[in-house]
Amino acid sequence: MIYLASPYSHKNLNIQERRYEATCAATARLIKKGDCVFSPIVHCHVLAVKFKLKTDAETWKWYNTMIINRCNALWVLALPGYTKSFGVNYEINYAQERGLHVKVIMPTEEELQLVKE
């Protein structure tokens, strides 16, 4: 099982929504390819919006940690902002501390178009 980390939280909710859309597209692409992928953004964004849950990385740290503990690898979707993302950096460090394979994957051009401002 692969944990797909990607940047999400942003003060501009439009950017946050576009990051969600791009991550959905990337998750679907990877699943079509045959990868068993879990994305906390894809899984939890709708819950957060519909039920007014917080969307910051600190709030979800415990949840994401529990999922990472059940995965064999962590892949990072290299959307704009991923190197500065508190959540992504935490997830990378946590996975590396546990000896998980971590790799950065590039988004497709279509996925990048979804996050353009």
pLDDT, one tens digit per residue, over 59-90 is 999 999 999 999 999 999 999 999 999 999 99
What DSSP string runs through 45-114?
HHHHHHTT---SHHHHHHHHHHHHTT-SEEEEE--TTTTT-HHHHHHHHHHHHTT-EEEEEPPPHHHHHH
Confidence grade of residue 37 (pLDDT, cut at 50, 70, 90): very high
Confidence grade of residue 116 (pLDDT, cut at 50, 70, 90): confident
How confident is the model at residue 117, as a pLDDT?
62
Q: How far apart are CA 111 and CA 41, in angstroms?
A: 15
Q: Which pair of structure tokens corresponds to residue 39?
A: 């994305």
How confident is the model at residue 33, as a pLDDT?
97
* All domains in the chain, ordered by first residue: 2-115 (3.40.50.10400)
Question: Shortest CA distance to 82 belongs to which of 31, 9, 11, 14?
Answer: 9
- Summary mean pLDDT of the chain: 96
